Chain A
């Protein structure tokens, strides 16, 4: 366990259904957009089945009450054979309560999902971050992530 300001006072575990409202609220505070239906779907898909390859982890204060706010979350899964890619861990959602950043919560979530991926047998983890999203870019770089061998492409669909 990493020792930081809150490092030894944080518990990382899989999400329970009762935690979801806190995740929805945290996501809304950070992104400015409430997405309860989306998160309900993510909960059902990533916290109820195929749990050996899907990981929806949350961070809470270690001695907090059961209904205490979620301080951060990370969601990932094992993806395989996309355009020939060997099985790898994918992180597609990650957030930390703004008032508790720089205290090691994000790093603990990242390390926890890394351990889950390793235990599941993959050797690489990936994510996709917007170029302008310096907050997430800087965090993932600080954790040792670098540009990988795949390039994200997109196209505007015309009417």
Chain B
């Protein structure tokens, strides 16, 4: 029997954490949230998350507020930032599909390479089309039948 969880494409842990943190912050851009709070919510170490947040800060997606009550707030554009934009901050390539010896590859190797490229292209197009704003709406839909926020792009 198919396991839908097992079938999901995996992105690296840092990318996942970055997306979770950005969704948490983008849901209320005025709110400041500490690394510890985010880490607790998503069951990850503050140490690992701090590195992720630093990368997001350098990319201009989050703003660090120092001092008592400080933390991070969202400073990006949720309607313009896609999952692919975020993943690209942590991963050079979405694909581990490559030919080890292209010059001597057999037709079977080339044919399988083509199939895997096709799958990678679809994954890339999907991740590049889903913005943080769309993710927030998708979360609303999981909680209730229909979301209603304004649409992106048009």
Interface residues of A (CB under 8 A from B): 2, 4, 72, 94, 96, 101-102, 104-107, 110, 131-132, 134-139, 141-144, 147
Task: Report how far A102 CA is from B154 CA in the complex, Å.
Answer: 5
In the complex, the chain A residue whose C-beta lies closest to that of B80 is A138
Is the pair B153, A101 in contact by a Cβ cutoff of 8 Å? yes
In the complex, the chain B residue whose C-beta lies closest to that of A106 is B154
Task: Report how far A147 CA is from B125 CA in the complex, Å.
Answer: 11
In the complex, the chain B residue whose C-beta lies closest to that of A105 is B154
Q: A131-B122, A134-B128 are in contact. Are A104 and B150 (CB under 8 A)?
A: yes
Interface residues in B98-134 by Cβ distance below 8 A to A read: 121-122, 125-126, 128-131, 133-134
Which of these, A94, A136, A138, contacts B82 with CB under 8 Å? A138
Is the pair B125, A137 in contact by a Cβ cutoff of 8 Å? yes
Is the pair B121, A141 in contact by a Cβ cutoff of 8 Å? no
* Count of A-B residue pairs with CB < 8 Å: 65
30 contacts between A and B (CB under 8 A): A2-B150, A94-B154, A101-B154, A102-B150, A102-B152, A102-B154, A106-B154, A107-B150, A107-B151, A131-B125, A134-B128, A134-B129, A135-B154, A137-B125, A138-B82, A138-B153, A139-B152, A139-B153, A139-B154, A141-B129, A141-B130, A141-B131, A141-B134, A142-B133, A142-B134, A142-B137, A143-B151, A144-B138, A144-B146, A144-B147
Is the pair A102, B153 in contact by a Cβ cutoff of 8 Å? yes
- Counting chain B CB atoms within 10 Å of each CB, the highest count among A102, A104, A105 belongs to A102
Task: Report how far A99 CA is from B131 CA in the complex, Å.
Answer: 21
List the B side residues contacting A104 at CB < 8 Å: 150-151
Is the pair B152, A142 in contact by a Cβ cutoff of 8 Å? yes
Task: Report how far A144 CA is from B151 CA in the complex, Å.
Answer: 10
CB distance from B78 to the nearest CB of A (A): 11
Is the pair B122, A106 in contact by a Cβ cutoff of 8 Å? no
In the complex, the chain A residue whose C-beta lies closest to that of B126 is A147
Q: A138-B131, A138-B134, A141-B130 are in contact. Are A131 and B154 (CB under 8 A)?
A: no
Interface residues of B (CB under 8 A from A): 79, 82, 121-122, 125-126, 128-131, 133-134, 137-138, 141, 146-148, 150-154
Task: Report how far A104 CA is from B154 CA in the complex, Å.
Answer: 7
Is the pair A107, B154 in contact by a Cβ cutoff of 8 Å? yes
New A-B pairs, 14, CB < 8 Å, besides A102-B152, A144-B137 = A2-B148, A2-B150, A72-B154, A105-B154, A106-B153, A135-B154, A137-B128, A138-B131, A138-B152, A139-B153, A141-B129, A142-B153, A143-B151, A144-B146
List the B side residues contacting A94 at CB < 8 Å: 154
List the A side residues contacting B130 at CB < 8 Å: 138, 141
